[in-house]
Amino acid sequence: MAASPAAGTGPSRAALPIRNALSKARVESAVARSTAGAGFVFLAQSLPTLLGDFGKTSPMWSLLSVALIVAGLLFTVVASIARRLVRASMVTFAGVFLAVLVSWPFAVQHPSPGSPWIYYLVTVATAAAAVGLSVRWAAAYLVLVPLIYAVIRLTPAGGGLMPLKASLDSIYSVILGGAILVIVTMLRAASTAVDTAQATALEGYEHAVRAHAMEAERVRVDAIVHDSVLTTLLYASRAETAEEQRLAAAMASSAIGHLRDAALVSPDDGSTVRVSALALTTRAAIEELEGGFEVTATRLGTRSMPAAAAEAVRAAALQAAVNSVSHAGPGAHRTVRMTAHRGGIQIVVADDGRGFDPQQVPSERLGVRVSIQERVANVGGAAELESAPGAGTTVVIRWPADSASDARVPSEGADLEHEVLS
């Protein structure tokens, strides 16, 4: 059967193939193979009778009917293996058998009461009809073929059997064929239910993916608005000294550039950025703040990371630095330390300024929750904040995310082989 299992029509990531899935196509293919194989087995069983009947029927009819039966069985075998035209091959065999059965009494030259070779294939024909036809038509075929066989057996050409003997042979075929039809129907129903459940699950997954993408985009837009618009406006409204005004102007210029880049660059374009390049651009962006940061880094090597993740980490680190400049107070000592982390990067933005209680930050404030934590989490990273009134603030940004035990802030005395970015 050429049809594939039901599946959603969403993005390719939601249409990944499910291994060993029970589906209508797989079930019908398996049943078709079994029917085709059983057909050759029953044909082999009928060979002794077939050879004995050659002198009792027209030689031309015998050769033609055997050739058609074998060709029909070969068609079912090839179709079931190729999983194409499975139903057509089964319907073809059922039709060929019916034609051979109906023409049989006209080819008889010497009637015999013994069962003809064609009787061995009645069950195979009804099984083929069960696979190739709908339940209604398969049931009709199941009754029709054994009935025709019984009627023929009652005639002189069919052997002139007593009604009881002819009926028993017919009823046996109906019972066996009916059992096969019931099994095929149950398997179809079960596999269809599984296909429906699978399609529903895939559709739900697609909706979840779209919802996550919309949420990630919402967080990205919120972060851009906060970082590039609100922060600049708030800082500009509080700028009193010449130094603060120069910083506000630099922030406004940076905000315009950031908004322009955000509009032109797709976050999921599949490109990568070297971690060392990320460190350099982060340093350059933080130095524009004129906050007196001491920026250091380890030898980050040639590792690369997705461009979307690099942009999120850079923006989160810059936002942490902006928060430090805005809230740590004058005279605070500020540091930015960048180290290698599981093939990615860890950035620690710290100051010894005023500090604050994170539990007291209103939920509508976006600076830490959206601009830093959610932004990094959406690209597979993690961000943690440590602060207390009078104890300064430390923000740890990592990509990729790691366990909480690995999120410790490196001690000032650790041997990191720092080199100042230049």
Q: What is the pLDDT of residue 14?
A: 40
Please tell me the predicted confidence (pLDDT) of residue 109: 81
- pLDDT score recorded for residue 360: 78
CA distance 331 to 353: 8
pLDDT recorded at residue 404: 45
From 314, 312, 297, 307, select the one nearest 273 (Cα to Cα): 307
Residue 405 pLDDT? 40
Question: Which amino acid type is present at position 167?
Answer: S
The number of angstroms, rounded, from the C-alpha of 301 to the middle of its chain's C-alpha atoms is: 35
- Confirm if 93 and 73 have CB atoms less than 8 A apart: yes
Task: Dig out the tokens for 256 from the structure.
Answer: 């315009």
Chain centroid, CA 323 distance in Å: 41
Closest C-alpha among 177, 77, 70 to residue 133: 177
d(CA 325, CA 351): 9
Q: CB of 107 within 8 A of CB of 61?
A: yes
The SS3 call for residue 197 is: helix
Nearest 10 degrees: Cα torsion 160, 162, 165, 166:
50
Local structure of residue 395 (DSSP, 8 states) = E
C-alpha distance from residue 297 to each of 279, 400, 408 (Å):
8, 18, 17
Q: Is residue 181 within 8 Å of residue 142, measured between CB atoms? A: yes
CA–CA dist 171, 18 (Å, integer): 42
DSSP code of residue 409: P
Bond preceding residue 400 cis, omega within 30 of 0: yes
Question: How high is the pLDDT of residue 27?
Answer: 73
- Output the six-digit token pair for 357: 């209680």
* Closest among 260, 249, 256, 259 to 290, alpha carbons compared: 249
> Measured in whole angstroms, how far is the alpha carbon of residue 114 from the centre of its chain?
58
Q: Which CATH number is 270-420's, of 3.40.190.10, 3.40.720.10, 3.30.565.10, 3.40.50.720?
A: 3.30.565.10
Strand partners, 273: 305
Q: Are 28 and 87 in contact (CB under 8 A)?
A: yes
C-alpha 94/C-alpha 313 separation (Å) is: 67
Residue spans in the chain of domains classed CATH 3.30.565.10: 270-420
User: Which segments of the chain have a pLDDT < 50?
Assistant: 1-21, 264-265, 404-422
What residues does 347 pair with on adjacent strands?
A: 338, 397
Q: How many residues can be counted in the chain? A: 422
d(C-alpha 392, C-alpha 348), whole Å: 13
DSSP 330-388: TT--EEEEEEEETTEEEEEEEE-S----GGGS-TT--TTIIIIIIHHHTTT-EEEEEE-
Tokens representing residue 31 in the block: 């049943």
| Cα dihedral: 294, 298, 301, 304 (round 10) | -60
Gyration radius of the chain over CA positions: 39
Q: pTM of the prediction?
A: 0.44
Kindly give the interhelix angle for 122-132 and 135-154, rounded to the nearest 10 degrees: 160
Tokens of 96: 């060929």
